[in-house]
Structure 1
């Protein structure tokens, strides 16, 4: 089956599937702009700590891990019990409660089983990128196997540069089919212009803020703009690390931080020590505490 046909089939079968899930709104989403999104309040931080088997056990934060695999597969591996029943049975109103700051945030949604937050490396011009025409980058791969496209409303586009779309729930219906800057100038593996680098960091910042404000403590990030958009992977990985280590994101906001980065180098040029995106991100981020 051609990818264009896979897209058509996904569009065709989703209404019947969703009609059997009356409490699941696949079209729900919201757009968030950096200028309107205040920095996180440290009083709301859950304060996650490193586990007992870590050499720095008890220290606040988590270790980053880099995986060479599909984004949704990484989410399923990280939290396999995230089903429609699990979400609806555990749901409680997301209203503020008086709590001990050492154990839980005060102003973030609490108690419901939150899906893993997944960073969609989205096209800022077209909903789902070119998925309906059979294109295959990370966003298209997400749309082929899920309800994601139903939440990407035409009114959002073009997505402003320092903005992101938040979709609270996405339904996966099939197995894997294996918005950054558009072709910025790169020099010696770095952004040639500091302004483009700063823009990338602002995009990372708004994504992390929205994930935290929505109560997601397990996040899966990716090689932002390092595919068809040709951003320099080593520098993008460094941008992620710099933002994750900013004061705003300290104190244990994340239980898990994973990067799903498919290796675009093969053979002896691939792997952890290779020249592909996976190798670049692995060497820059694997095991770092944030």
Structure 2
């Protein structure tokens, strides 16, 4: 079986697990009930910031892999989903391998995104505009259950090893030469022309909303990463600088911020850029 077909089979098995488990079904229902859409015009109320210094980590882990130890130790963890703005789960039903698809193969996230309400309020709105830069909309989904290993070939975990995280679903600017494809339909037909300065400012504006939403919902640990630096072709150096600028403003709300920048041995460009800007090689 080729990798794409294997990914589809793994995803279908995950959906079958949810259907067969009352506990997972209840988790999905609870997540959907408490899921929030933050639109750009909406101010996000912030709590009082914490007093303890925030620890910043740059790792080469996958997103849920990074989140698991914190979540299992009782911390409230929020993970950023580098999302498709026009398709729930991106290309997960087609076996794609970007970060959002990996999250959906391991957890209860997909059925929370693939609802009539989210289609109407989030995905169809982005399809109508056809702007590859999208906007600063984000979804906050609490209590997502991870029930498979966050590995290249996810495997079922015993129920005692399941854990929960909150997830922010937000789309980075789509800088592909052909923005629209099967995973990102109606994303525009022409490539975006944007200067590095404008992209940096746009990323900062969008990421500020991410930090605000996580803080507003009481996250203690924030799992971030190379937002838009894969399929959406954002330069990692610019994105890392934008994260650093925003983090300086909001770090006091969190105990730990981990940039989980998964990379293979032969493709460390994203990790190297984030490590240079935000971390130090361990």
* TM-score, scaled relative to structure 2: 0.74
Alignment partners' CA distance in 1, 2:7 and 2:59? 25
Q: How far off is 1:79 after superposition?
A: 3.1
Is the CA contact 1:121–1:138 (under 8 Å) kept in the aligned structure 2?
yes
**Cα separation, partners in 2 of 1:197 and 1:184, compared to 1, 3 Å:** farther
Return the offset for 1:77. Answer: 2.1
Q: What is the aligned partner in structure 1 of residue 278 from structure 2?
A: 285
Task: Quote the offset at 1:15 in angstroms.
Answer: 2.0
Match of 1:54 in 2: none
**Alpha-carbon distance between aligned partners in 2 of 1:7 and 1:23, rounded to the nearest angstrom:** 18
Say if 1:180 and 1:225, in contact at 8 Å, map to a contact too.
Answer: yes
- Cα separation, partners in 2 of 1:39 and 1:115, compared to 1, 3 Å: closer
With over 3 angstroms needed to count, the CA separation of the structure-2 counterparts of 1:77 and 1:19, relative to structure 1, is closer
* 2:97 equivalent in structure 1: 136
Whole-angstrom distance in 2 between the partners of 1:202 and 1:228: 21
Deviation per CA, 1:209-244: give whole Å up to 9, x if none: 011010112111111100010100011000000111
The equivalent of 2:235 in structure 1 is 232
Contact 2:77 2:219 in 1 (8 A): yes
CA deviation vs aligned residue, 1:127-170 (integer Å, no higher than 9, x gap): 00000110010000000010001211322214561111000111
Asked if 2 retains the 8 angstrom alpha-carbon contact of 1:115 and 1:169, the reply is no
Unaligned 5+ runs, structure 1: 49-60, 83-113, 186-190, 271-275
Q: Give TM-score scaled by structure 1 length.
A: 0.72
Q: Which residue of 1 aligns with 2:197?
A: 194
- Aligned-partner SS, 1:181: coil
Superposition deviation, residue 19 in structure 1: 4.6
Match of 1:7 in 2: 11
What does residue 174 of structure 1 align with?
A: 148
1:120 partner SS? strand
Change beyond 3 A, Cα 1:237–1:193: closer
Q: Does 1:77 align with 2:103?
A: no
Task: Classify the secondary structure of the residue corresponding to 1:66.
Answer: strand
Within 5 A, what are the aligned runs for 1:217-256? 217-246=220-249, 249=250, 252-256=252-256
Please give the residue correspondences for 1:56-95 in structure 2 after superposition, counting only pairs within 5 Å: 61-82=53-74
Q: Which has the higher helix share?
A: 2
Distance 2:16 2:25 in 1: 16
If each structure's strand is expressed as a fraction of its own residues, which one has the higher value? 2
Please report how far the alpha carbon of residue 23 of structure 1 lies from its aligned counterpart in structure 2 after TM superposition.
6.5
User: Residue 216 of structure 1 aligns with which residue?
Assistant: 219
| 2:62 and 2:150 in contact (8 A); partners too | yes
How many residues in Structure 1 have an aligned counterpart in Structure 2? 227
Q: Separation in 1 of the partners of 2:265 and 2:24? A: 42
Equivalent residues of 2:18, 2:25 under 8 A apart = no
Provide Cα deviations, 1:174-198, integer angstroms capped at 9, x if missing partner: 112332111169xxxxx73433322
For structure 2, list consecutive stretches of 5 or more residues without a partner in the other structure: 127-133, 153-170, 178-193
Q: Report which of the two structures shows the higher radius of gyration computed on alpha carbons.
A: 1
Distance in structure 2 (CA, Å) of the matches to 1:196 and 1:180: 10
Please tell me whether the aligned partners of residues 26 and 150 of structure 1 are also in contact (alpha carbons under 8 angstroms). no
Give the secondary structure class of the aligned counterpart of 2:142. Answer: coil
Within 2, Cα distance between the matches of 1:119 and 1:20? Answer: 21
